[in-house]
Structure 1
Amino acid sequence: MTETEFLALAERTLARIETAFENAVNDTDLDIECSRSGNVLEIEFVDNGSKVIVNSQAAMHEIWVAARSGGFHYRYEDGKWINTRDKTELFEALSAIASDQSGLPLQLG
């Protein structure tokens, strides 16, 4: 994958993540704020002040996630963003992270 292809894919992925969280806000009573600055998406769970940071790392061709539960790296494989350590899929992991940090079961995707 070229850097240009990666940047386009990463941009679509960050937009998809932001939309998934906006949909979660519309479907629940959660107060979640998303803010974007370039390749960094900050997701704040307003009720408890916790945050999840998602950003693209062009040099590594990865998406990185920082959450209370740790830091995670995802590489694009076979049409999905896969964790480089435990092989979980990005949106599956974000659902678990968001559920943990919000206290409500959330399904992002």
Structure 2
Amino acid sequence: MTASQADFDAAIERTLIEIEDALDDCEWDIDYERADAVLTLTLEDNGSQVILSRQSANRELWVAARSGGYHLAFEPPGWKCGTTGEDLPTLLDRVLTEQQGEPVSLGLK
């Protein structure tokens, strides 16, 4: 079932807030900056970035990392990557771990 635009917008907002809250509580030195529906995560140890952005036309959440770009569709109850099959928490932990060089877990559900 395809989410409506309102469901998609609500899911994006909820997701970005959950990520910001997880970053505030995590043990890693990861800074973040949000501009509308673009959330930029910066790993302080090496300056690398992971960028999450809303793509309203496609109703997707895009994640840009060193390892590539990932397009996630909202499939209630969460986001799923069409390329890797990973859900958003798994994908984020993986790309942050790859870029940090140490295991990173944000504890997202």
Alignment TM-score, normalising by the size of structure 1: 0.89
Partner-residue secondary structure (3-state), 1:87: coil
Alignment of 1:81-100 (within 5 A): 81-100=79-98
Cα deviation for residue 31 of structure 1 reads: 2.1
Cα deviation for residue 18 of structure 1 reads: 1.6
Tell me how many residue pairs correspond in the alignment. 105
Q: Quick one: which of 48, 51, 62 aligns to 1:50?
A: 48
Structure 2 counterpart of 1:8: 10
> Residues 35-63 of structure 1: CA distance to partner in whole angstroms, max 9, x if unpaired?
00000000001120100000111111110
Structure 2 counterpart of 1:23: 25
The whole-number CA distance in structure 1 between the counterparts of 2:79 and 2:99 is 21
The whole-number CA distance in structure 1 between the counterparts of 2:34 and 2:23 is 13
Q: CA RMSD in A?
A: 1.2
For structure 1, list consecutive stretches of 5 or more residues without a partner in the other structure.
none
The whole-number CA distance in structure 1 between the counterparts of 2:49 and 2:13 is 20
Partner-residue secondary structure (3-state), 1:101: helix
Percent same amino acid at aligned positions?
Answer: 38
The whole-number CA distance in structure 2 between the counterparts of 1:67 and 1:18 is 17
Query: Which AA in structure 2 matches 1:4?
Result: A
Alignment of 1:23-42 (within 5 A): 23-24=25-26, 28=27, 30-42=28-40
Moved over 6 A (4+): none
Partner-residue secondary structure (3-state), 1:59: coil
